[in-house]
Structure 1
Amino acid sequence: MADVSTHVPSPPPQWVENFAKFGLTAKGVVYCLVGIIAFMAAFELGGQSTQNAGKSGILKTIQDLPAGNVLLGIVALGLLCYAIWRFIQAVKDTEGKGSDAEGIGKRLRYLFSGLVYGALAYLAANMVLGNSSGGSGSGGSRETLVSKLLAQPFGQWLVGIVAVATMLVGLYQIYYGYSDKYRKKVRSAGLKDEVEHQMIRAGKVGYMARGVVWLVIGYMFLQAALQSNPQQAGGSSDAFQFIENSTYGSIILGAVALGLICYGVFMFMRAKYQPIYTTSGAS
Structure 2
Amino acid sequence: MDISSHVPAPPPRWVENFARFGLVAKGIVYCLVGILAFMAAFELSGSSEQEAGKTGVFQFILDQPFGRVLLGIVALGLLCYSIWRFIEAGYDTEDKGSGAKGIGRRIGYAFSGLVYGALAVLAGKMVLSNGGGSGGGDSRQTLASELLQQPFGQWLVGIVAISTMLVGLYQIYRGVSDKYKKQVQHAGLNHDIEGMMIRAGKIGYIARGIVWIIIGYLFLKAALASNPQEAGGSSSAFKFLEDSSYGSFLLGAVALGLICYGVFMFMRAKYQAINT
Q: CA deviation at 1:132?
A: 6.8
Moved more, 154-163 or 36-45: 154-163
* 1:209 match: 207
Match of 1:271 among 259, 264, 269: 269
Which amino acid is 2:250 matched to? Answer: I
Cα distance in 1 for residues equivalent to 2:96 and 2:65: 43
Q: CA deviation at 1:147?
A: 1.1
* 1:175 match: 173
Superposition map of 1:118-197 within 5 A = 118-130=117-129, 133-138=132-137, 140-197=138-195
State TM-score, norm by structure 1: 0.92
Higher relative contact order (CA 8 A, sep 6+): 1
* 2:198 match: 200
Q: CA deviation at 1:179?
A: 1.1
Q: CA deviation at 1:127?
A: 1.0
Cα distance in 2 for residues equivalent to 1:99 and 1:13: 22
Contact 1:173 1:211 in 2 (8 A): yes
Deviations 1:165-222 (A, max 9, x none): 1001111100000113100110000100000000000000000000000000000000
Cα distance in 1 for residues equivalent to 2:30 and 2:250: 17
Cα distance in 1 for residues equivalent to 2:263 and 2:272: 13
Deviations 1:70-113 (A, max 9, x none): 10011011000000000100011111111111111100110010
Cα distance in 2 for residues equivalent to 1:259 and 1:62: 21
Q: CA deviation at 1:131?
A: 6.4
Superposition map of 1:221-240 within 5 A = 221-240=219-238
Which amino acid is 2:231 matched to? Answer: A
Cα distance in 2 for residues equivalent to 1:232 and 1:221: 7
Superposition map of 1:6-155 within 5 A = 13-130=12-129, 133-138=132-137, 140-155=138-153
Which amino acid is 1:70 matched to? Answer: V
SS in structure 2 at match of 1:181: coil
Cα distance in 1 for residues equivalent to 2:109 and 2:81: 11
Q: CA deviation at 1:233?
A: 0.2
SS in structure 2 at match of 1:113: helix
* 2:7 match: none
Cα distance in 1 for residues equivalent to 2:255 and 2:95: 34
SS in structure 2 at match of 1:261: helix
Please list every run of at least 4 consecutive aligned residues from structure 1 whose deviation after the TM superposition is greater than 4 angstroms. none
Cα distance in 2 for residues equivalent to 1:165 and 1:215: 10
Gaps of 5+ in 2: 1-10
Gaps of 5+ in 1: 1-11, 279-283
- CA 1:97 to 1:131, structure 2 compared with 1: closer, same or farther past 3 Å? farther
Contact 1:177 1:204 in 2 (8 A): yes
SS in structure 2 at match of 1:46: helix
Contact 2:88 2:109 in 1 (8 A): yes
Cα distance in 2 for residues equivalent to 1:135 and 1:263: 27
Percent identity over paired residues: 72
Contact 2:75 2:120 in 1 (8 A): yes
Q: CA deviation at 1:142?
A: 1.0
Cα distance in 2 for residues equivalent to 1:151 and 1:74: 37
Contact 1:123 1:132 in 2 (8 A): no
